[in-house]
Chains A and B, each alone.
Chain A
Amino acid sequence: MSNHQNGRIVITGVGLTAPNANNLKEFREALLTQKSGITEMEIRYMGKVAVGNCNFDETLYQKKKMRRRGTRAGSISIYCAHEALNDSGLSLDSLVKDRTGIYLGITEHGNVETENEIYELHQNHLDTSLWSHHHNPRTVANTPAGEVSLNTGITGPAYTIGAACAAGNIGIIHGAQMLRLGEVDLALAGGISESTGTFGIFAGFKSQGALGTHEDPTKASRPLDVNRNGIVVSEGGAIFVLERLEDAEKRGAKIYGEIAGYHVNSDAVDFVLPETQRQIECMKAAIARAKITANDIDIVNLHATGTISGDENECEAINAVFSQSANTYVNCTKGFIGHAMGAAGALELAGNLPSFTDHKIHSCKYIENVDPRCNMRNLVNGEPVEKEVNYILSNSFGMLGINSVLIIKKYNK
């Protein structure tokens, strides 16, 4: 039995890449100034679609050869992991490599590589002897985390957590749990997505009637707008350095916030449709674990993907949980960056963390016509709100009915 079971876990480093930024400072600035990262891209078999692609330097921390051998998800992970460690003030040399864990949430992995290889196979007249020997190592589900391990020499546990679009939160939750169990002394935890690399996810949402479109791609992702028409698929990543509070204080680390509460549950009703009641229960359980009340939450960052039913269900859940919470403000992030799938929860939390110190709540990407069914008290729409922030609650929900809620508290000794 570990003696860390009730230990306080803090965030001491952030590394990220999003369609509109390549570090937290840029990301925060983009969210405060309404900067979209959504563009158009030609997708095989589909033509032009709105998409959120990242623009970080893939070779900053990785040799070209290893990039060629690995995956986009691995490359995003390597970039974010190095950026997070740099931000935390920790050097690779200073890490106790076998006591460091890498826990990355993913919506899916391997679809991009498989689709591209099947395309190549057709170009090669279905000659499977030309099928790449890289296929298996590129498509095993632990690849994004494993590539970070190979790149950094970290020898502790390195694996991914498949949790659809709830995965970003769950990567962080899992990292905190492993620190509390004493399995590791430092965790690189967050979420990753490379989903824009294949047509399949776009075509799937289109067939489902849930692919976001607009003649102006920067308006294709418009959660809570009465005219929203679906999801804009994005790639990206956010990795946090997590430590036990005593370790962070001992080394004088900068502390972004403390993991105060979390909860994960399942709808158990539908492959794709959300379930309001389970979302309500998930938020309430996370709030209870944090030993606070709903009114203590200063920011709720919605999952809000821009689908008709997803947004309505979540807003109904918010109105139920926060009906008495005059202190609570509500924002969402996907209008700026689209839906970064497994990275979404981690990225969206990162974008709100600076609220503890700059005392601002970033707005949603301006919603021209708020859907009356999504109208919530204190919805931040247009300009940032000036406010002291002590608690942030971040929702991330996913297909097959998985819900995750994470609450971060401002660090106080």
Chain B
Amino acid sequence: MDYQTLRQKIIDIIAEIAVDEDLSNIDDTVRLRDQLDLDSMDFLDIVMELKKRYKIEVPTEDYPKLATMKSCIEYLGPKFA
């Protein structure tokens, strides 16, 4: 799956959780928490949505890999494959 397709799938999940946020200008290299109003419960929501939608499991020890958009895509890419 190419970078942009994967990015859009992640954006779609974040859009459902961070409903008040403008997601049009996300910097892929900056921590999501530093540019969006996201807290730990939101990240749990993201993990749950990945499981519901794509049956992708993210173990607790891998949560730091969801820090930036770029790291999300690098981490999740092989799981979508």
Contact = CB atoms under 8 A, between A and B. Distances in A.
B51 A65 contact: no
Instruction: Among B18, B19, B51, find the residue whose CB has the most chain A CB atoms closer than 10 A.
Output: B19
Say which size band chain B's interface belongs to: 10 to 19
Interface stretch (A103-111, A128-136, A268-276, A329-337): A128-136
A48 interface: no
A129 B19 contact: no
A413 interface: no
B48 A65 contact: no
Contacts of B18: 65
Nearest to A130: B52
Contacts of B37: 65
Interface in B10-29: 17-20
Given A63-B20, A65-B19, A133 B41 contact: yes
Given A133-B44, A134-B41, A65 B52 contact: no
Given A69-B41, A134-B41, A64 B19 contact: yes
**Residues of A contacting B: mostly:** helix
A319 B9 CA distance: 67
Given A133-B41, A133-B44, A68 B51 contact: no
Nearest to A69: B41
Interface string A273-303: 0000000000000000000000000000000
A134 B45 CA distance: 9
B19 A68 contact: yes
A353 B23 CA distance: 47
Instruction: Among A65, A69, A129, find the residue whose CB has the most chain B CB atoms closer than 10 A.
Output: A65
Contacts of B44: 133
B66 to A, nearest CB: 16
A132 B19 CA distance: 18
Contacts of A132: 48
A150 to B, nearest CB: 12
Contacts of A130: 48, 51-52
Interface in A88-134: 124, 129-130, 132-134
Contacts of B45: 133
A134 B41 CA distance: 8
Nearest to B42: A65
Given A124-B52, A130-B48, 18 more contacts: A63-B20, A64-B19, A64-B20, A65-B17, A65-B18, A65-B20, A65-B37, A65-B42, A68-B19, A69-B41, A129-B51, A130-B51, A130-B52, A132-B48, A133-B41, A133-B44, A133-B48, A134-B41
Interface of B: 17-20, 37, 41-42, 44-45, 48, 51-52
6 contacts: A64-B19, A65-B18, A124-B52, A129-B51, A133-B41, A133-B45
